[in-house]
Structures are given as structure tokens and as C-alpha cells.
A and B are shown apart, each in its own frame.
Chain A
């Protein structure tokens, strides 16, 4: 009996490790293979590699659509990050610190982008902007401003949620202590609250940028002629050809996001924000 139980324990233990390893592989293998393929000499993506080269990176950089798409994605990502921080941080503070009717509802709506398919949200926003244009004559859809607006909107819930999480996790007694020491509410916010939630604000900004940088579906509707973002450039290229250029572009995209994460992590431990 004892023997059975113990071997059962062992099987359970091995099964857990096995499943965890499988899940990890599932995450890492596609990423690793994209990076690997980007160095293949082969003219189309297939195995095994005939040799290795950096030509595909040069090739990608020489294609204006990728170079410009990359720069466009950086620009839009930067603007979206700024806007979502400017709006998101005060909104998070208000949501976390004020009791009002409908607060729960707003918090639920903020989960919307996780539930509504991107393609639906994109088309809805597109129709709204067209309607707006018809009514006012001001064109926003298919302009840089429109794209930035859309990206700010999709990034905002992430910023708000991350900043809210850090506010909720904060020790309120520290703020009360500052009040009793003679600090007025605004001073308490500036000197005590803000430094305490800084990791959440950084993480919120980081996520805003990443979400914007990789967005495909919503941008599809909103980009103007000659101003595509990197994910759209990738999709367009894939329609006609499947050589390792695309792997090189994807690798650069992965590298850019990794860089943002590493830099942010140097200022504070990202794990603290989750």
C-alpha cells in the first residue's frame, strides 16, 4: 500500500514537471525558431539550413516599407504611451481612491479590450471615425492622429489596471502618517504616493508601448496610404513572399520589445508590478 502511494506520488511529480516543461517549450520554440530562421541562407523558409547569413537583415532594412513601418510603429507607440499615461494615471488614482456610483461598472468595462476581438474593436472605431467625419468634416480615420488616438485607446486599459494595482497594493498608513506630519493632500501625493506607485506607472507605460507596437487588427482599419505600421507591413509582405526577410523583421521586433523590457527592468523590478 505504502509502495503504491509513493510511486503514485512520483508519477504525479514527474507529470507536473513534464507538463510545465511542455508549456514552456510551447512558448519558447516558435520564438527561437523565428530568430534561428532569420539567419538561414535558404531563399524560402524551409529546413534544414543550407548555411547562415545576415543578408536578410540588410534586405529588410533596404525595403522602405519595413524601415518606415518600424519607425512609424515607434512613433505611434511613443505617442500612445504618453497619452495613455497622461490620462491613465489620474484615472487610476480616481478609480482606486474614490467611492462613487458606477465604479465597479467602469472597472469591468476596462476589461473590455481583453474580451472584444481586436478586429471588431477596430472596425467599430473605424465606423465611428467615419461617422464623425461625415458629421463634422474633420478627417481622423487614416491619419497619423487617428492612429495615435486608436492606439492610446487600446493601451489605456492596461495603464489604468497596472497603476490601480499598485495603488491598491500600497500601504495607506504611509499616506496617513504624512498627513499627521503636516503634509497637505497634494504634498502627500507628490512626495509619498507618487514614489510608491512609480513601478506601476513604469509598467503601465511599458505595456502601453508594447500593446501599441504589436497591434495589427485595429491598425488595419486606420492606417492611411503610405503610413503603415510594422505589423501591417509584415502581413502585406507575407501575402506575396515567404523568405527569411520576414523572420529578420520579426526578430528585430522581438529585440525592440525585449530592449524596452530590459531597460524598464533596470529602473525597478517588473515582477513587483504584478
Chain B
């Protein structure tokens, strides 16, 4: 295992810049997710790390070893594809042994190592199967075993879960995370699914148009997005436009003045972002909660949608429309409010991010 360093890595296709001078440091043993919409350059970046695509500029290092122009077979990276890409004419055991054979591992050592890798992904009972005789989830586990059996310097995962159904995806991603931590694998994971990225990664790199929008821990990115793109791509958010009123107050278009807890990195200081679940509703006659003073606005309930685990309440505040998520449970789920009712929205100062 080693760290991975990307220095000004660039890839162009004709006049289109797919990856634009990307700088990134991935720590040894870290689980890093590339997250972004399709075409943002995340897969191209992964392919450049794997050696399947050669960058037009910049450098890539595995630890101290420069691999920028090294062909894939000399890099010692393990890649798992979205479509599994198992060798259709080889059994599960032969598929996994392939990487060891290529490394000229002694024949007597291959079998126990294959068995060990199969045991890690809980597939030891299917060693003699052919890929086509297995389900998608089983094939993906084999693909993972094949990529880790030779102890790669980097484990690279290209949307490895997106071909699986929802329940299996959940299961495999939990296993993947546990395995990654146990083995201390430096892992790069590409996904367009924010939920997936948040639940498995140590750090997330949010990309769009070949550039990094933000790098951070899952909670850092979710709670303190750097800009509107990140706030919108990861989860949903309410955006209130307005302008600065002094140094640390923000004046909404409606005239109300509120505070904010964080300032986004690329802030234009023209929008406040608040996550739907951070907002509480109360009737105007009740008292505000402690600690929220100065972070409240008046609104009118427009619609209430029951969504099972939570209730979604849409409110209008001046010309703006906001969404509030109220967790159900503990007897809640019965709406306390009705459409047309005047309410006060309140949130803790930390929940408002200036963008």
C-alpha cells in the first residue's frame, strides 16, 4: 500500500478539457471517493491512476514511485470495473489467480492465497464456478477478490456497486468498507451516488467539469458545502438570496436579517444555504428555542407531504419557497400544521452557510 499523489494532472480530448490540472493527495490507507455527475472527469481521473489513460500533463506518484507514463501492467494497482469484467472462460479461482500468475508467484503459494482472498469476500464455496453461473453481487465480490489478492499499491473502484440492486448495494458497500479498513487498502472509489460516497468514504472529492469543487470529510462536505454546486449535488438544500448586512449579518430579499455559521470557500456572499432537516417550524405564538435567536423568519405553510420516515413541509417566505424535513417517529407523523397556516422557521446558527 502506498499514498497516491496527483500533481496538476490534465487530460484533454481535442479542445475539451476532461480533467483540468488536478492536485490531490491520497493518504496511505485512506478511502477516498470521487463524486460528481457523469462527464465530470472522475472516471478519467481513475483511469489515469490505473494507467489505462495517459495524462496530457502533470504527474502521478504511488508513494515515491512516479507512475505517470507507466503502463497499467507495471503499476501494481487493483481495478474493479462497474461491469465486473471477469474473464468469462475462467473459473472464479482462475480469475483470482491471474494477477498472482502474472507476478510469477510460486505455484504452491497461489492456491492458499486465492482461498484466502475468496474467504475475505465470503465466496470460498464458489471457487469452481464460471462467472456466468453467478449473480451480479457474487461476480462483484470475485472482481474485488481478484483486485486485492496481489496486495496492490492502490485499490481503484469504478462505480462498482451501480449494477447491483438497492438492497445488495447496501450490503456489499458495508462489506467493502470493512474489508478496506481491515486490510488498510489505499482506495479510490468513483461514484455518482452521493449517499454511497457519504457512507463509505473517509474523504470525498466533489468534481464537476474536470475540476475539484470541494475536498472534505462526508460531514464537512454535507454540512459546510463550499458552493452552491456542492450543496445541491449532495443532498438537497434551501437557498435564500440576499446581500451582506455588515460583517456577520445577511439581509434577505424580504428585508429580514439573519446570521450564518460558516462561509463557503468559493463564497460569492449572495446566498444562504440551509438543509431542510435543520429547519424547525413553530407557531408564531410559541416561544423560540434557546440559542436560535436571530435565526428565524416568518412563513406560510403551502403543502404537507407524508414521506414515511419523515414529513416534507413546503413553506413560502416572501417570494422564496423552502422545504422543511421533519423526522417522524415517537408518535410524530401526524401533521401539527396545516396549509395556509402562518409559522416561524428557526434554525441553529451553525446550520446556515453563506455561499
Cβ-defined contact, A182 with B99, below 8 A: yes
**Contact A180/B50 with A171-B85, A192-B87 known, Cβ cut-off 8 Å:** yes
Interface centre among A180, A187, A195 (most CB of B within 10 A): A180
Cβ-defined contact, A182 with B88, below 8 A: no
Cβ-defined contact, B88 with A174, below 8 A: yes
Q: Decide if A183 is an interface residue (CB 8 Å cutoff).
A: yes
**Contact A183/B73 with A176-B52, A178-B98 known, Cβ cut-off 8 Å:** yes
Cβ-defined contact, A181 with B71, below 8 A: no
Cβ-defined contact, A180 with B52, below 8 A: yes
Q: What sequence of 0s and 1s flags, for each residue 209-232 of chain B, a beta carbon within 8 Å of any chain A beta carbon?
A: 000000000000000000000000
**Contact A181/B102 with A176-B52, A176-B72 known, Cβ cut-off 8 Å:** yes
Chain A residues, Cβ within 8 Å of B99: 181-182
On chain B, which size bracket covers the interface? 20 to 34
Q: Decide if B83 is an interface residue (CB 8 Å cutoff).
A: yes
Q: Decide if B313 is an interface residue (CB 8 Å cutoff).
A: no
Smallest CB separation, B104 vs chain A (Å):
9
Chain A residues, Cβ within 8 Å of B102: 181-183, 187
Q: Please measure, in the bound complex, the distance between the C-alpha atom of A191 and the C-alpha atom of B71, giving whole angstroms.
A: 18
Cβ-defined contact, A182 with B103, below 8 A: yes
Smallest CB separation, A187 vs chain B (Å):
7
Cβ-defined contact, A196 with B89, below 8 A: yes
Cβ-defined contact, A171 with B83, below 8 A: yes
Q: Decide if A6 is an interface residue (CB 8 Å cutoff).
A: no
Chain A residues, Cβ within 8 Å of B77: 180
Cβ-defined contact, B89 with A195, below 8 A: yes
Q: What sequence of 0s and 1s flags, for each residue 149-189 of chain A, a beta carbon within 8 Å of any chain B beta carbon?
A: 00000000000000000000001011011111111100100
Cβ-defined contact, B87 with A174, below 8 A: yes
Partner of B52, one of A174, A179, A183, A196: A179
Cβ-defined contact, A181 with B81, below 8 A: no
Chain B residues, Cβ within 8 Å of A180: 50-52, 72-73, 75, 77-79, 147, 156
Chain A residues, Cβ within 8 Å of B79: 176-177, 180
Residue of A nearest to B77 (CB): A180
Chain A residues, Cβ within 8 Å of B73: 179-184
Q: Please measure, in the bound complex, the distance between the C-alpha atom of A184 and the C-alpha atom of B147, giving whole angstroms.
A: 17
Q: Please measure, in the bound complex, the distance between the C-alpha atom of A192 and the C-alpha atom of B98, giving whole angstroms.
A: 11
Chain A residues, Cβ within 8 Å of B83: 171, 173
Smallest CB separation, B101 vs chain A (Å):
9
Chain A residues, Cβ within 8 Å of B87: 174, 177-178, 191-192
Q: Please measure, in the bound complex, the distance between the C-alpha atom of A121 and the C-alpha atom of B311, giving whole angstroms.
A: 78
**Contact A174/B71 with A183-B102, A187-B102 known, Cβ cut-off 8 Å:** no
Cβ-defined contact, B81 with A177, below 8 A: yes
Q: Decide if B150 is an interface residue (CB 8 Å cutoff).
A: yes
Q: What sequence of 0s and 1s flags, for each residue 64-103 of chain B, a beta carbon within 8 Å of any chain A beta carbon?
A: 0000000111011111010101111100000000110011
Chain A residues, Cβ within 8 Å of B146: 177, 181
Q: State which residues 121-163 of B face A: CB under 8 Å.
A: 143, 146-147, 150, 156
Q: What sequence of 0s and 1s flags, for each residue 262-306 of chain B, a beta carbon within 8 Å of any chain A beta carbon?
A: 000000000000000000000000000000000000000000000
Chain A residues, Cβ within 8 Å of B50: 180
Q: Please measure, in the bound complex, the distance between the C-alpha atom of A195 and the C-alpha atom of B150, giving whole angstroms.
A: 24
Q: Please measure, in the bound complex, the distance between the C-alpha atom of A176 and the C-alpha atom of B83, giving whole angstroms.
A: 12
Q: State which residues 8-35 of A face B: CB under 8 Å.
A: none
Residue of A nearest to B51 (CB): A180
Cβ-defined contact, A182 with B150, below 8 A: yes
Chain B residues, Cβ within 8 Å of A177: 79, 81, 85-87, 143, 146
Q: Please measure, in the bound complex, the distance between the C-alpha atom of A181 and the C-alpha atom of B79, giving whole angstroms.
A: 8
Partner of B72, one of A171, A173, A179, A192: A179
Residue of B nearest to A182 (CB): B102
Q: What sequence of 0s and 1s flags, for each residue 118-160 of chain A, a beta carbon within 8 Å of any chain B beta carbon?
A: 0000000000000000000000000000000000000000000
Q: Please measure, in the bound complex, the distance between the C-alpha atom of A183 and the C-alpha atom of B89, giving whole angstroms.
A: 16
Q: Please measure, in the bound complex, the distance between the C-alpha atom of A180 and the C-alpha atom of B52, giving whole angstroms.
A: 8
Cβ-defined contact, A181 with B85, below 8 A: no
Q: Please measure, in the bound complex, the distance between the C-alpha atom of A181 and the C-alpha atom of B150, giving whole angstroms.
A: 9
Residue of B nearest to A183 (CB): B102
Smallest CB separation, A194 vs chain B (Å):
10
Smallest CB separation, A118 vs chain B (Å):
38
Q: Please measure, in the bound complex, the distance between the C-alpha atom of A121 and the C-alpha atom of B156, giving whole angstroms.
A: 55
Chain A residues, Cβ within 8 Å of B51: 179-180
Partner of A176, one of B78, B85, B150: B85
Smallest CB separation, A172 vs chain B (Å):
9
Residue of B nearest to A184 (CB): B73
Q: State which residues 22-65 of B face A: CB under 8 Å.
A: 50-52
Chain B residues, Cβ within 8 Å of A171: 83, 85
Ranked nearest first, the 10 interchain pairs of A and B with the lowest CB-CB distance are: A182-B102, A173-B85, A177-B85, A181-B99, A179-B72, A180-B79, A195-B89, A180-B72, A174-B85, A182-B73
Q: Pull 26 A–B residue pairs with CB atoms less than 8 Å apart, ordered by A.
A: A171-B85, A173-B83, A177-B79, A177-B86, A177-B87, A178-B98, A179-B51, A179-B73, A180-B50, A180-B52, A180-B73, A180-B75, A180-B79, A181-B73, A181-B78, A181-B99, A181-B147, A181-B150, A182-B76, A182-B102, A182-B103, A182-B150, A183-B73, A184-B73, A191-B98, A196-B88
User: A171-B83, A182-B150 provided; 6 other pairs, C-beta below 8 A?
Assistant: A177-B87, A179-B71, A179-B72, A180-B156, A181-B146, A183-B102
* B interface residue numbers (CB < 8 A to A): 50-52, 71-73, 75-79, 81, 83, 85-89, 98-99, 102-103, 143, 146-147, 150, 156
* A interface residue numbers (CB < 8 A to B): 171, 173-174, 176-184, 187, 191-192, 195-196
